Chains A and B, each alone.
Chain A
């Protein structure tokens, strides 16, 4: 039940290889209304059915593994913040959730069947305010509140059972009648697979709907969660355009998640439905940026090193819609510098010189600004920039070299 993952899709394709014949497929799905999405569990939920208890048992070990992973960012301020956030948009299970932040520079978050969530650091980079992050977390909470994991497991079990029995009976029937039924069996298998994927997309749509409701109740503007998808579509387009490829639009019978475009449209409708006219909403942008401020340079650094300049540039520009600062300008320069196409050195130099104007310019901005000045033959200015770098970062690993350059 992750926000957007291929892993589930792959496992569905492999696992569903032996799957059953409920042929209710089709691409168009009616929007699920937030009002219909009531939580199916209360506080302190514990499973009582055998299959769900088995699932929980497996997950206990998974959680022990994840909670002790060295990929986790355990900055106490940020982890407390995330816990409080899921506590405010987690509906009836708010107190039961656990949330872990993993240092993986990708847009993703996932909820496990026992109520612990993993958020990727790439998500924190992309969110422009607390409302957007709350929206994603509320979506994940929705999976737990609507008991999606056990429901989709049961759906899969039922359909594979039907398919196995159906295939066997068809084979025996065909054997008795003396006809080959192989083609029909393969058709049934495809039908089963498609219906499994459809079910998965339906769950995602449910989570989107309940998520919109939850963040509205917590006082966030519900439309922000639709903006998250708009940003994602934009980022994917920019990334593909740079690589001269067409973006995979995700309109696919084998998709586990609805296409981002469809999600965006549905989410806007959801938002309009749950928004209470006259009520004051707050996206809490300042509080969000203040909280993640300590790790934001790391998040940007991880992103620009992905070697995906199309996406990185789009991301930085999107974040800058809320105002440029030294950090964003510096990493804009880093995108150009690492891309290194003809003319990029000039663009990078411009970004660095723009970055150092801001009081929050990182030390490295001064360093690269100095190098660019040196290359342009502006030695005196370069020395001043290097001096500034050394003043900010006297223990830098390259301090000796810079000192030499600064002469």
Chain B
């Protein structure tokens, strides 16, 4: 009887305990890049850490490097499939013809715009003035100038953070599940967690044309959602984040009416 109770509790917590969410927005006129285009990927911001028993995140340099390599490889493969040429920039001084300061300015501007998108599109502070306009944000002239100088068609900003539940954290979850036997049921202490987001900027117009967030998390330590440290996990992440780009509302309507 008791054994049944335990497995039931775990099964129940699995169904409520973990999920992968993704939600994307696009400019109304957006068509996913296809064919012969040049994509600039600016300093992918990857960080992988270990979730300690007590719930803190301990950054791990080796895991971060692994994940970064995997993500960049997966990104190249994925973009090659669409016909794009990709250049990945790791440091601000690596882009010929553009000073580190200019690149830093673009990155900071983008960070501010991304924050605004997240606030007004994802966190509920919806703006009446932007209703029905899809994704209506721009980096302006600076981004156009960057495109003109470098010849790239698009810039992609990418952020990925992954927390891997440590052994201690998994043990804590197991303890919590074991507690169900005596009436103290706490298997859902929180486990692996992944947050990824990306924004695509059209360097011809300066507009942010597409934005996507993927969140994968598990309340129960020990359940995994694509580990970025493995090539498979990274490929899965890139697939979730970038491979299902939908065209903007106006384009979809036009396609539908045809």
Contacts and interface: CB of A to CB of B under 8 A. Distances in A.
A54 B49 contact: yes
A20 B56 CA distance: 12
Interface in A1-44: 15, 18-20
A123 B138 CA distance: 38
A172 B179 contact: yes
A19 B182 contact: no
A171 B179 contact: yes
B112 to A, nearest CB: 13
A176 interface: yes
Contacts of B45: 61
A50 B175 contact: no
B103 to A, nearest CB: 9
Interface stretch (A162-170, A307-315, A395-403): A162-170
A171 B59 CA distance: 30
Interface in A67-95: 68
B54 A164 contact: yes
A171 B186 CA distance: 9
A51 B58 CA distance: 7
Contacts of B176: 168
A174 interface: yes
Nearest to B105: A70
Contacts of B47: 58
Contacts of B62: 50, 53
Contact of B184 (A156, A160, A174): A174
B184 A164 contact: no
A175 interface: yes
B59 A58 contact: yes
A349 B176 CA distance: 73
Contact of B60 (A19, A54, A61, A160): A54
Given A51-B58, A57-B64, A161-B168, A68 B53 contact: no
Nearest to A15: B56
A168 B175 contact: yes
A338 interface: no
A248 to B, nearest CB: 29
A65 B107 CA distance: 10
Given A18-B55, A53-B61, A68-B101, A176 B49 contact: no
A15 B54 CA distance: 10
B87 interface: no
A160 B56 contact: yes
Given A68-B104, A160-B54, A56 B186 contact: no
A157 B52 contact: yes
A58 B58 CA distance: 10
Tell me which of A54, A157, A160, A165 has the highest count of chain B C-beta atoms within 10 A of its own C-beta.
Answer: A54
B92 A50 contact: no
A54 B54 contact: no
Contacts of A68: 92, 100-101, 104
Nearest to A170: B184
B147 to A, nearest CB: 22
A64 B179 CA distance: 47
For the side of the interface on A, what is the size category?
A: 20 to 34
* Dominant secondary structure at the A interface: helix
Nearest to B111: A65
A55 interface: yes
A55 B59 contact: yes
B203 interface: no
B182 A172 contact: yes
A159 interface: yes
Contacts of B91: 64
A55 B57 CA distance: 11
A68 B186 CA distance: 46
A15 B104 CA distance: 30
B183 interface: yes
B172 interface: yes
Contacts of B101: 68
Contacts of B58: 51, 54, 153, 157
B178 interface: yes
Given A165-B172, A168-B179, A175-B183, A18 B54 contact: yes
A113 to B, nearest CB: 11
Contact of B52 (A56, A58, A160): A160
A169 B175 contact: yes
B210 to A, nearest CB: 25
Nearest to B59: A54
Given A50-B60, A56-B61, A157 B54 contact: yes
B6 to A, nearest CB: 13
Contacts of A57: 59, 61, 64-65
Interface in A155-203: 156-157, 159-165, 168-169, 171-172, 174-176, 178
Nearest to A61: B45
A172 B184 contact: yes
B104 A168 contact: no
B61 A54 contact: yes
A50 B63 CA distance: 10
A169 B54 CA distance: 13
Contacts of B61: 50, 53-54, 56-57
Interface in A136-160: 153, 156-157, 159-160
Nearest to A154: B58
Interface string B31-68: 00000000000000101010011111011111011000
Closest 6 CB pairs of A and B: A160-B54, A175-B184, A54-B59, A57-B61, A161-B53, A176-B182
22 contacts: A18-B55, A54-B49, A54-B58, A54-B59, A54-B64, A58-B47, A61-B45, A64-B92, A68-B104, A153-B58, A160-B52, A160-B56, A161-B52, A161-B168, A163-B54, A164-B54, A165-B53, A168-B175, A168-B186, A171-B186, A172-B184, A175-B179
Given A157-B54, A169-B175, 19 more contacts: A20-B54, A53-B61, A54-B49, A54-B59, A54-B60, A54-B64, A64-B91, A65-B104, A68-B100, A68-B101, A156-B56, A161-B52, A161-B54, A164-B54, A164-B172, A168-B186, A172-B179, A175-B183, A175-B184
